[in-house]
Amino acid sequence: MSDSALLEDPSTGATKPKTMKSKQAPRATAESMAAKQRDISVSEFFAKNRHLLGFDNPRKALLTTVKEAVDNSLDACEEAGILPDITVIIEDLQPDRPASAKSGRYRVTVVDNGPGIVRKQVENIFGRLLYGSKFHRLKMSRGQQGIGISAAGMYGLITTGKPMVIHTKPSAKSPAHHIELAMNTKTNRAEVTEDSETKDFPPARFGQLTSGTRELVDKGEFLSPATYTTGTSVSIELDGRYQKGRGSVDEFLELTAIANPHARFTFVPPSKASDEEEDVPLLRRGKKAEEKNAPADAVGSEKDSPGEGQPPKPIEPQVTTETGGVMVFPRAVEELPAETKEIQPHPRGIELGILLQMLKEAEIEKPGYTLYNFLQDKFSRVSAGSASAFCEKIGVTSRTKVADVDHDTAEKLFREFQDSKLPPPPTDCLAPIGVQQLLKGMFKGVRAEFYAASSREAAVYRGRPFLIEAAIAFGGELSADEPCRVIRFANRVPLLFQQSACSSFKAVIETNWRNYDLQQPRGAVPVGALVIMIHMASVWVPFTSESKEAIADYDEIRKEMKLALMECGRKLGSYLNKRLKMRRESERRDIFERYIGEIANACNAINGVDAKKLYEAMLVQARKRTAIADLQLDDEGKKVKEPDPADQEGVIIVEQAANLAPAEPAPVASPAKATKAEKAASDLGKRAKKKGEAEQPTLIAAAAKPSRKVEAKPSKKSAKTEPPPARLPSQPPSRPPSQAPSRPTPPAAAPGKKPKPKMRLENGKLVPVDEPGLF
Partner 1 sequence: MAKAKDKPSAKLKERDKRTLSKIVELADDVSKKTLGGKEPVFHIPTRTKSNTLWNKKRGILEMGDGKADRPLFDLKTAKQFMQTMLHGSTIKDLIDSGKTSSLRGVFYKAKHTVAGTKENTFDTQEESDPILEDLEVTLGALREELHIFAENRGTLVGNITLVDRGDEIDGRRMGSGGWGIPSIVEPDVIQFKKCEAKFVLHVEKGTVWNRFNEDRFWEENNCILTHGAGQPPRGCRRLLQRLNQELKLPIVCVLDCDPWGHYIYSVIKQGSISLAFESSRLAIPDAKFLGIRAKDYEECDLGEAVKIDLTENDVKRAKEIAAYPWFEGHKGWQKEIQGLLNNGFKMEVEAMINKGISYVTEEYVPERLKAKDWLD
Which residues are at the interface with partner 1 (CB under 8 A)?
587-588, 591-592, 594-599, 601-603, 605-607, 609, 613-614, 617-618, 620-622, 625, 669-671, 674-675, 719, 724-728
Which is closer to partner 1, CB of 299 or CB of 609? Answer: 609
- The 10 Å CB-count burial string (b at 16+, else e) for 698-716 is bbbbbbbbbbbbbeeeeeb
Write down the H helix ranges in 420-548.
435-445, 503-510
Residue 185 or 675 with smaller CB distance to partner 1? 675
Residue placing its CB nearer to partner 1 in the complex, 431 or 614: 614
Looking at beta carbons only, is 280 or 599 nearer to partner 1?
599
Whole-number minimum distance, CB 621 to partner 1, in Å?
6
Cα-based distances in Å from 674 to 246, 594, 625, 657, 692: 42, 11, 21, 11, 16
DSSP state of 207: G
Smallest gap, in angstroms, from Cβ of residue 675 to partner 1? 8
Nearest CA among 474, 435, 450 for reference residue 652: 450
Q: Is 652 helix (H, G, I), strand (E, B) or coil?
A: strand
Shortest CB 761 distance to partner 1, Å: 16
CB of 672 to partner 1, least distance (A): 8
Nearer to partner 1, 13 or 725 (CB): 725
CB of 38 or CB of 624, closer to partner 1: 624
Minimum distance between the CB of residue 589 and partner 1, rounded to whole angstroms? 10
C-alpha angle 118/123/127, rounded to 5°?
Answer: 140
Q: Which is nearer to partner 1, 455 or 626 (CB)?
A: 626
Q: What is the C-alpha separation between 768 and 449, in angstroms, rounded?
A: 9
In Å, how far are 154, 430, 445, 506, 565 from 533, measured between CA atoms?
Answer: 33, 18, 11, 13, 9
Least gap, CB of 632 to partner 1 (angstroms):
23
- Choose between 139 and 588: whose C-beta lies nearer to partner 1: 588
Instruction: Enumerate the β-bridge partners of residue 190.
Output: 183
Whether 185 and 154 have beta carbons less than 8 Å apart is answered as yes
CB 262 within 8 A of CB 334: yes
Q: Which of 102, 613 has the CB closer to partner 1?
A: 613
Rounded to whole angstroms, how far apart are CA atoms 217 and 91? 18
Identify whether the C-beta of residue 248 lies closer than 8 Å to the C-beta of residue 64: no
CB 749 within 8 A of CB 743: no
Closest approach, Cβ 532 to partner 1, in A, equals: 36
Residue 458 or 666 having the CB closest to partner 1: 666
Closest contact distance (angstroms) between CB of 735 and partner 1 is: 13
CB-based contacts of 659: which residues, under 8 Å, 6+ apart?
A: 673, 676, 677, 680, 681, 695, 717, 720, 721
Integer angstrom CA distances of residue 363 from 151, 357, 378, 388, 506: 35, 10, 12, 19, 44
Shortest reach from residue 630's CB to partner 1, in Å:
16
Smallest separation (angstroms) from partner 1 to the CB of 718: 13
